[in-house]
Amino acid sequence: MFWSRSKGVVGLDIGSSAIKLVELKERKGAEYSLERVGIEPLSPEAIVDGSIMDSSLVVDAIQKLTDETGAKAANFATSVSGHSVIIKKIQVPSMPPEELDESIQWEAEQYIPFDINDVRLDYVILSEGDLGRDTMEVLLVAVKRDKVNDYVSVISQCGKSPAIVDLDAFAVQNAYEINYDINPESVVALVNMGAAVTTINVLARGTSVFWRDISFGGNQFREALQREYNLSFDQAERAKRGEQVEGCSPAEARTVLDQVSEEMAAEIQKTFDFFAATADSEAVSELVLSGGCAQTPNLLPILQERFGVRAELMNPLRRIHFKESDFDSQWLHSIAPMLAVSIGLGVRKVGD
Ligand SMILES: Nc1ncnc2c1ncn2[C@@H]1O[C@H](COP(=O)(O)OP(=O)(O)OP(=O)(O)O)[C@@H](O)[C@H]1O
Ligand SMILES: [Mg+2]
């Protein structure tokens, strides 16, 4: 007897500061167990401003990760973020799905700030036109073709199949949904703070209603420390984590970090203001932070204070089973916030 094994994937988050790999196994009842996990730092010249500048560095890091973790699945899911990604809800005239398939390119053109021939388009119909309504709502996703090709190519070069290219914002949402109960009363902003990009995805009653990628993250904190105290890249990276380094005490680092946290809060505020002005939803009532930069000392209380709402750090492993003996749990705990995207990718299936 042959069981048709559902096609699980390896979740591979190609971040600009580090690549994260997660392989999960689905159990009964939509539960998952952690099979393999790894993180491999990338040198800062490998990915700059969201573009892969040195693909051999990226390929080497992926290869190392797959070897070290022993990742099994041949199919990989990865994701992209940043300014070459556009997510928009648009209204189009009501029409049958086949017709939309043909006209989406034309409908999308007016919403995409790039040449339509340079992007890959995807869409989901959110509301079929009700009787009597002449428009329907469509979620439009456009990503620069070059960007997708680059991310797909580094995976192929490792001999793996790049089966799924998702968006960071959606992957973080997946990770949240498998680990937390949705509170129907609350409007939750999922804020994934990486090194170069902060991705915001607002969920109202469990449905995603707003997205925005901001070019602001851990790099801004590091650069501010480097400027202020004349630190090297590595020194500033350690100072950011609250470590004592030569020429900058944790207290000195804190004053700079707090200033940058305020700048980060102001950036997020702009997004929330825009959200409040455009969406027919209540204001954000809860912040759930992920990404390495979310661990910056004192950032969470600063955001909490500024927005007057509860803020917490997401634990994307909250409901994922694993054998304590298989993993160093202290290490897992320390990298957990950085795993949100890779875990959200790891639950994807080929063809879903
Ligand atoms: N404990 C910590 N305290 C402060 N900052 C941290 C900590 N751990 C990691 N970081 C910072 O988080 C960032 C890395 O996070 P993450 O892995 O989520 O980013 P990335 O996916 O590589 O970046 P991006 O998605 O923006 O390309 C780096 O800027 C790093 O310095
Ligand atoms: Mg990232």
CATH superfamily to which 1-83+146-179+314-352 belongs: ATPase, nucleotide binding domain (3.30.420.40)
- To test ligand 1's pocket by mutation, which of 13, 14, 16, 17 has the most ligand atoms within 8 angstroms of CB? 17
Minimal-distance CA residue to ligand 1 atom 12: 292
**The two three-digit tokens of residue 302, written as one number:** 């600063």
Where in the sequence of the chain do the CATH 3.30.420.40 domains occur? 1-83+146-179+314-352, 181-313
Indicate whether residue 196 lines ligand 1 (CB < 6 A): yes
The pLDDT, as a whole number, for residue 30 is 79
Rounded to the nearest whole angstrom, what is the distance from the C-alpha of residue 260 to the centroid of ligand 1? 15
The pLDDT, as a whole number, for residue 5 is 52
Of 301, 331, 296, 299, the closest CA to residue 317 belongs to 331
Where in the sequence of the chain do the CATH 3.30.1490.300 domains occur? 85-144
- To test ligand 1's pocket by mutation, which of 22, 293, 314 has the most ligand atoms within 8 angstroms of CB? 293
With 0-12 CB in 10 A as exposed, 13-18 as middle and 19+ as buried, what is 113?
exposed
**Residues around ligand 2, an ion, CB closer than 5 A:** 15, 194
Indicate whether residue 15 lines ligand 1 (CB < 6 A): yes
The pLDDT, as a whole number, for residue 2 is 45
CATH topology of domain 181-313: Nucleotidyltransferase; domain 5 (3.30.420)
For the CA of 254, the nearest ligand:
1
Rounded to the nearest whole angstrom, what is the distance from the C-alpha of residue 169 to the centroid of ligand 1? 16
Rounded to the nearest whole angstrom, what is the distance from the C-alpha of residue 296 to the centroid of ligand 1? 9
Indicate whether residue 194 lines ligand 1 (CB < 6 A): yes
The pLDDT, as a whole number, for residue 132 is 63
Indicate whether residue 217 lines ligand 1 (CB < 6 A): yes
The pLDDT, as a whole number, for residue 1 is 38
Rounded to the nearest whole angstrom, what is the distance from the C-alpha of residue 16 to the centroid of ligand 1? 9
User: For residues 250 and 89, what is the distance between their CA atoms, to the nearest angstrom?
Assistant: 44
Rounded to the nearest whole angstrom, what is the distance from the C-alpha of residue 120 to the centroid of ligand 1? 28
Where the chain has pLDDT below 70, the residues are: 1-6, 128-132
The pLDDT, as a whole number, for residue 279 is 78
Indicate whether residue 293 lines ligand 1 (CB < 6 A): yes
- Sheet hosting strand 119-127, strand order edge to edge: 85-93, 135-144, 119-127
- To test ligand 1's pocket by mutation, which of 234, 290, 338 has the most ligand atoms within 8 angstroms of CB? 338
For the CA of 42, the nearest ligand:
1
Evaluate whether 247 touches 231 at the Cβ level (below 8 Å): yes
Residue type, 161: S
User: For residues 94 and 202, what is the distance between their CA atoms, to the nearest angstrom?
Assistant: 26
Indicate whether residue 257 lines ligand 1 (CB < 6 A): no
Q: How far is CA 53 from CA 145, 147, 216, in A?
A: 16, 11, 19
CATH of range 85-144; options 3.40.50.300, 3.30.1490.300, 3.40.950.10, 3.40.1160.10: 3.30.1490.300
User: For residues 299 and 257, what is the distance between their CA atoms, to the nearest angstrom?
Assistant: 8
